[in-house]
Amino acid sequence: MEGKVNVIGAGLAGVEASLQLANRNIKVDLFEMKPHQKTPAHVMDTFAELVCSNSLRSDSLDNAAGLLKAELRLLGSEVIKAADETRIPAGTALAVDRELFSQILTTKVLNNPYIQVHHGEVLAIPKTGITIIATGPLTSPRFHEALEKEFGEFLYFFDAVAPIIAFDSIDMEIA
């Protein structure tokens, strides 16, 4: 593949996409608004920041989340590799040291000669080349407006999944 791929957002998806492309000798322009601009959820200046929890959910092969992680390991996911390297005890959940996890992935990105990082808010989708938009639910308001103008007002970014309650844990006498 000739040229570069634009990746907007250096969260989990943007970092994974950038590293997978770079591992295949494809040049990447990675755009990230941090550290110059943050949302209220951002604390660190590093990439792949887990902002809600240090848990990447279950690692058990008995459920979809665990199976997905097993598949990602087989496919060489850099994010899952970093999670495994920074794992902390949490039963069957894949919980990580958030700061170390983010630092490992940031270092991998910054040290990769195929990835050029651009810090600052993106205000429009690049008009040339292939672009991966990986800004997720923490998209800046101005870039969100640009996306609405381009694609319509029906944008929705999926984030955390609601908790699941086991039926047998509910006291039906008082529920």
Q: How far apart are alpha carbons 154 and 172 in whole angstroms?
A: 39
**Number of domains into which the chain is organized:** 1
Q: What is the distance between the alpha carbons of residues 112 and 93, in angstroms, rounded to a whole number?
A: 30
Interval 40-73: pLDDT, tens: 888 899 999 998 777 799 999 999 889 999 999 9
77 in any annotated domain:
no
Q: Is residue 84 situated within a structural domain?
A: no
pLDDT of residue 157: 67
Q: Is 168 inside any structural domain?
A: no
Backbone phi and psi for residue 107, each to the nearest 5 degrees, phi listed first? -60, -40
- Residue 139 inside a domain? The answer is yes
Q: Tell me the average pLDDT across 88-104.
A: 95
Judge whether 119 and 34 are in contact, CB under 8 Å.
Answer: yes
Specify the CATH number for the domain of residue 110.
Answer: 3.50.50.60
13 within domain boundaries: yes
Show the domain range for 130.
5-55+99-155
Q: Where are the beta strands (DSSP E) in the chain?
A: 4-8, 27-32, 55-58, 87-88, 93-96, 115-119, 130-133
pLDDT tens digit sequence for 5-45 = 999 999 999 999 999 999 999 999 999 999 998 888 888 99
- Quote the pTM value: 0.86
Q: What is the model's pLDDT at position 159?
A: 59
Question: Does residue 135 lie within any of the structural domains?
Answer: yes
In the numeric block, which tokens belong to residue 157? 């970014």
* pLDDT classification of 81: cutoffs 50, 70, 90: very high
* Within a domain: 164: no
The pLDDT assigned to 169 comes to 79
> Over the stretch 124-173, which tens digit does the pLDDT of each residue have?
999 989 999 999 888 999 999 999 999 887 776 665 555 566 777 778 88
Q: Is 17 inside a domain boundary?
A: yes
- pLDDT, mean of residues 100-120: 98
Strand partners, 29: 6, 116
